[in-house]
Structure 1
Amino acid sequence: MDKELLLEWLQGRELIYSFLARIYQDGPAEDLLAALAGEKFLEELAASSRNEELAAGCRKMQAELTARASDLEAYRQELQEDYNRLFFGPGHLEAPPWESVYRSKEHLLFGEETLAVREFYRSFGLESKKKNREPDDHLGLEMEFMAWLSQAAAAKVQAGEDASEFLQGQRRFLKEHLEQWVPALCSDIQGAARTKFFRGLALFTRGWLQVDVAEMEAVLEDFCGGEKS
């Protein structure tokens, strides 16, 4: 893969991980919904992807956004209620967005998984911006970390420097963390969400990770000769 193609791939990944980070952390913000309704991001992503779940999720989200665009504020409020039920509270959460809840035997926050994620961030010189306010293994923070790694790798490539540390770090984080729990979370979202938007988001997320894992392996094979960290 030449430099320009690698940069384009990394920048595209940063964009998608940043989008997922924001929607899972902040919910259906007015400006984000307006941008999605007015642009062709989801439509173009669906058209370009060969992953059926990713494409179906994008189309489902876009269809509901388009249908409700005439009263976006009422729709935003409906989505916010769904978001709160799924991820935020108060009360029982249908899809708790923390790795430790899905991977620990007790299904509790701040387990070994949370500390492992914190240590992974630290290995790249990072600390969660929400430390002591939000567990480090919140899905939005994990997606934000992947976006940061993509940006860091792109900066190295652009400077003509070795980006393998950041590429291999992404492969490790995908395999050791995101792949281990996000598919189960997405299944819970699909089963509990009341809006097509969030059911679509679950498909989008699961499909995107499938795509990214496969593409990461191919890029590392080409870029680093398949060397594992």
Structure 2
Amino acid sequence: MAISSVQTLEVPDVCHRWLENRGAIYQLLTEFLGNWPTLSLVAHWSRSSEIAKAAELTRGGRELMQYLSGRSPEELVRICEQESAEYRRLLLFSKQRPLAESRYSPYSPSSQDLSDFYASVGVAFKKVNGEPDDHLAIELEFMTILHDRMLNSVYSEDSMLELMEIQERFLDEHLLTWIPALCRELNASTISPLYSAVSCLLAEFLEYDLAMLRTWRKSCQSIVEPVREVVLV
């Protein structure tokens, strides 16, 4: 039995809950924005632990929890009917104004640039509906993939720092260049409690996510002597 020493990255106290919850929140956003609100899905949301996690960190999450949690079966049917009709209306609206970076951002890269960016970190997407590379669902999925990779790189400091930096860049140079405009437009075009709360969650969480990534990375870089732990191999 040999003993080897590997570097690990300490997580600041302020970042613990964020790091535990962020993957679930990205998946939740993708689910809300990419799926028809069927009765079974609305019932699932009404008892979702992911919404509880979003409620810990954001006002939009708390609004979702207040709207969906603890509802009776009759109330869930009513919510499903209302939000399905609104989803249909918003879907028609989005066909005229696609949920894509090139539609909203003044700094939008070409589709090839984004494709090259994804490929540079070994990510390729299976697009069921032929979405462009700058579509909201693709960009959110990209962040989810990088988050999962970062957690799986827990014993590699260099890899984790690199993944943090890539996520910071993607938020700063892509998602946050256009999501605020999208959310303002969505807020102005719907009175749906569900999609108003989702819009709030999306805009609020991405800003918070970027701030937490920067906080964590700066705390890592400020440590002169990295923390080491003994691992039995």
Instruction: Tell me the secondary structure at the aligned position of residue 157 of structure 1.
Output: coil
Q: Is this contact kept in 2: 1:28–1:79, CA < 8 A?
A: yes
- Equivalent residue number for residue 153 of structure 2: 156
1:184 match: secondary structure: helix
Higher RCO, 1 vs 2 (CA within 8 Å, ≥6 residues apart): 2
Q: 1:92 to 1:127 in 2, by over 3 A?
A: closer
TM-score of the two chains, using structure 1 as the length reference: 0.78
Letter of the 1:21 counterpart: T
Q: Write the distance in 1 (CA, Å) between the matches of 2:70 and 2:96.
A: 26
Alignment check: 8 A CA contact 2:28 2:51 kept: no
Which residue matches 1:79? 83
Contact 1:10 1:150 in 2 (8 A): no
Residue in 2 that maps onto 1:2:
10
**Aligned partners of 2:18 and 2:212 also within 8 Å:** no
Any residues of structure 2 matched to 1:1-229 within 5 Å, and which?
2=10, 9-39=18-48, 41-43=50-52, 45-46=54-55, 48-49=56-57, 54-55=58-59, 57-66=60-69, 69-71=72-74, 72-86=76-90, 88-89=91-92, 93=95, 96-103=98-105, 112-130=109-127, 133-158=130-155, 162-225=159-222
Counterpart CA distance in 1 for 2:12 and 2:192 is 39
Question: Whole-Å Cα distance in 1 between the matches of residues 94 and 134 of structure 2?
Answer: 19
Look up the match of 2:226. none
SS of 1:28's partner is coil
C-alpha separation between the residues in 2 aligned to 1:94 and 1:197? 22
Q: 1:156 to 1:67 in 2, by over 3 A?
A: closer
Q: 2: distance between equivalents of 1:92 and 1:17?
A: 21
Offset of residue 64 of structure 1: 2.5
Q: Counterpart of 2:227?
A: none
The alignment's TM-score, normalised by the length of structure 2, stands at 0.77
Of residues 73-82 and 164-173 in structure 1, the stretch that sits farther from structure 2 once superposed is 73-82
Task: Percent identity, please.
Answer: 27
Pair 1:78–1:114, CA change in 2 (3 A) = farther
Where structure 2 has 5 or more consecutive residues not aligned to the other structure, the ranges are 1-8, 224-233
Following the alignment from structure 2 to structure 1, what is the Cα–Cα distance between the partners of residues 109 and 160? 29
RMSD: 3.1
Change in Cα spacing, 1:92 to 1:223, as seen in structure 2 (3 Å) is closer
Shift of 1:144: 1.0
The answer as to whether partners of 1:193 and 1:199 remain within 8 angstroms in 2 is yes
Q: Is the helix fraction higher in 1 or 2?
A: 1
Query: Per-residue deviation at 1:214?
Result: 0.9
Query: 2:159 aligns to what SS in structure 1?
Result: coil
Q: CA deviation at 1:117?
A: 2.4
Q: In structure 2, what is the Cα distance between the partners aligned to 1:158 and 1:73?
A: 47
SS at match of 1:198: helix
CA distance in 2, matches of 1:204, 1:27: 18
Which residue does the alignment assign to 1:108? none
Larger relative strand fraction: 2
Encode CA deviations 1:87-145: one digit per residue, 9 max, x unaligned. x22x665863111111269xxxxx74433322221111112211771111111111111
Q: CA deviation at 1:32?
A: 3.8
